[in-house]
Amino acid sequence: MKKSHILAIAVIAVAIGIIMSTVGDASVYVSFREARERAAEGNLTKVHVVGRLPRDGQKNIMGLEYNPTLDPNYFAFTLVDTNRIAQRVIFFNPKPQDFDKSEQVVITGAMRNDVFVADKILLKCPSKYVEKDIKGATASR
């Protein structure tokens, strides 16, 4: 065997290894029902869940729990996934400042007992970059 062949085989082997590791590490978007099933089976890999925050009549978010003077690293909220299943989520970090305004929330983490422990929160705000409205446009002129 020539060296080039050995090298080619090694490269292919590593490339396949890389693909396998990506496939193995890739997470999935699931619903809370599936997240609970996974936890029940003892599968503790982290998943992504997309959801919305429940709001009352005044558009206030219901069920937020953050009391920094007691514990700055404890933030709990309720998230309703796309199948309308509500789930209590805790996040052992300060509450993200733009949390109240977000429309859609993506969390990663896993179910632990009865709560979903999130380690990352990604917020989608209604108009993060494209402005659709002019402030005070009607006031002047």
Partner 1 sequence: MLNTFIGDAGHLSVILAFVAATVAAYSYFMASKGRALGDTDAGWLRLARGAFFVHSAAVVAIILCLFNIIYEHRYEYYYAWSHSSNHLPVHYMISCFWEGQEGSFLLWIFWHVVIGLAIMRFNRKWEAPVMAVFSFVQLFLTSMILGVVIFNVKIGSSPFILLRDFLTDLPVFKLNPNFVPKDGTGLNALLQNYWMVIHPPTLFLGFALTLVPFAFAIAGLWKRELTTWVKPALPWSLFGGLILGVGIVMGAYWAYETLNFGGYWNWDPVENAVYSPWLVLVASVHGLVLWQRSRTALRTSFVLVIATFLLILYATFLTRSGVLGNASVHSFTDLGLSGQLLIYLGAFVVLAIGLLVSRWKDIPVSEKELTTYSPELWVFIGATVLCLGAFQVLFTTSIPVYNAFLGFIGIKSNLALPADQIAHYTKIQLWMGVFVAFLSGLAQIMWWQRNDKETLTNSLTVPGILTLLGAALVILLVRYNKLTMSPAYIALLTTALFGVLANLGMIFTLLKRRVALSGGAVAHVGIALMLLGILASAGYSNIISKNVSGMVYSKEFTEELNRDNVLLWRNEMAPMDGYDISYTGQYFDVPGVPEYVNKEVLFRTDDEYKALARSDIKFGDKLYYKAGDTVEILPENTYYRVEYKDRKSGEAFTLYPRAQVNEEMGGLLASPDIKKFLGHDIYSHISSVPDPSKEKDWSEVKEHVLSVGDTIYLNDYFAVFRNVEPAHETAGLGLTKGDIAIQADFVVSGEKKQYHVHPVFVVRNRLIGRVPDEVEDLGLRLSFVNVDPTNKKFTFGVSTTQKDYIILKATEKPFINLLWSGTLLMALGFGMAIAKHRREARRAPQAATPVVKKPRVSRQPAPIA
- Cβ–Cβ under 8 Å, residues 54 and 63: yes
Judged by CB under 8 A, does residue 70 bind partner 1? yes
The answer to whether 76 touches 91, Cβ cutoff 8 Å, is: yes
Q: Which is nearer to partner 1, 80 or 117 (CB)?
A: 117
Residue 87 lies near partner 1 (rule: CB under 8 A): no
Asked if 59 touches partner 1 (CB under 8 A), the answer is no
Question: CA-to-CA distance for 110 and 89, rounded, in angstroms?
Answer: 10
With CB under 8 A as the rule, give the number of residues binding partner 1: 69
Cα–Cα distance list, 116 to 12, 51, 56, 105 (Å): 40, 13, 22, 14
List the one residue from 9, 16, 28, 44 that touches partner 1 (CB under 8 A).
28
Query: C-beta of 40: minimal distance to partner 1 in Å?
Result: 18
Burial zone of 74 (CB within 10 Å; 0-12 exposed, 13-18 middle, 19+ buried): middle
Amino acid letter, residue 95: K
Nearest distance from C-beta of residue 17 to partner 1, angstroms: 9
User: Where do contacts with partner 1 occur on this chain (CB under 8 A)?
Assistant: 2-4, 7, 11, 14-15, 18-19, 21-22, 25-30, 45-48, 50, 67-74, 90, 92-102, 106, 108-109, 112-113, 115, 117, 119-120, 122-125, 127-138, 140-141
